[in-house]
């Protein structure tokens, strides 16, 4: 029987274990993510550049599965503690918009080949403010560590410059989900 992962146990896993889960796991049901916001945590130190903790929300926009990021006040408690939203006026600070899809539905590339069975978050949407255009470089691959359980996700983030030049950024977790209160659009 496969291990039943929790947010805490997955956060303590090493990179080799996370990569194995990505290579052998199943993708989430993207429609089942819609309407929820997830608490995220970057596994690698590089995540401090963008925030170790963050949130990602998912919904349908114009018939397309989409998502966005919310900033979080960093409490320096790693994968424990709270995910208190950073506010812009009275709303959560929302940025970093992306579409969700399955890798198999995209043109095959050498870059995505090991993850053809997974889902992806693609940030090449036109909704970014000019000073946030760097989001368009981000490409995430997404798996359910527990098959069929969309409440916990493991992701691998790359800075995707071209099919032949990509920089690994961080593994990250999404979990502790709850219903969205503020849609970005």
Note whether 171 and 154 are within 8 A (CB). Answer: yes
Cα–Cα distance, 44 to 126 (Å, whole number) = 28
Would you tell me how many other CB atoms lie within 10 Å of the CB of residue 55?
A: 26
Q: Is 185 helix (H, G, I), strand (E, B) or coil?
A: coil
Q: Where are the domains of the chain?
A: 28-137+157-179
The series of mean pLDDT values per 10 residues for the chain, 185 residues long, is 90 97 97 98 91 96 94 95 90 92 95 96 84 88 97 97 94 97 86
Question: Which three-class secondary structure state does DSSP give residue 176?
Answer: strand
The CA distance from 150 to 31, in Å, is 10
**77 SS3 class:** coil
DSSP H or E stretch at residue 143:
strand 138-143
Confidence (pTM) = 0.95
What pLDDT does residue 143 have?
98
Give the per-residue pLDDT at 1: 52
């Amino acid at each position: 029987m496969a291990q039943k992962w929790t947010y805490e146990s997955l956060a303590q896993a090493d990179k080799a274990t996370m990569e194995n889960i990505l290579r052998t796991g199943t993708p989430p049901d993207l429609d089942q993510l819609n309407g929820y916001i997830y608490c995220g945590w970057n596994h690698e130190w590089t995540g401090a550049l963008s925030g170790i903790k963050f949130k990602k929300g998912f919904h349908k926009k114009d018939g397309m599965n989409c998502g966005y990021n919310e900033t979080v006040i960093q409490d320096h408690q790693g994968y424990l503690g709270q995910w208190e939203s950073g506010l812009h006026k009275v709303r959560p600070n929302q940025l970093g918009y992306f579409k969700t899809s399955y890798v198999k539905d995209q043109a095959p590339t050498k870059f995505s080949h090991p993850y053809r069975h997974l889902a992806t978050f693609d940030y090449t949407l036109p909704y970014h403010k000019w000073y946030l255009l760097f989001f368009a470089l981000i490409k995430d691959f997404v798996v359910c560590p527990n098959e069929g359980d969309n409440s916990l996700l493991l992701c691998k983030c790359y800075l995707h410059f071209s099919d032949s030049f990509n920089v690994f950024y961080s593994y990250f977790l999404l979990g502790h989900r709850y219903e969205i209160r503020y849609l970005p659009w």
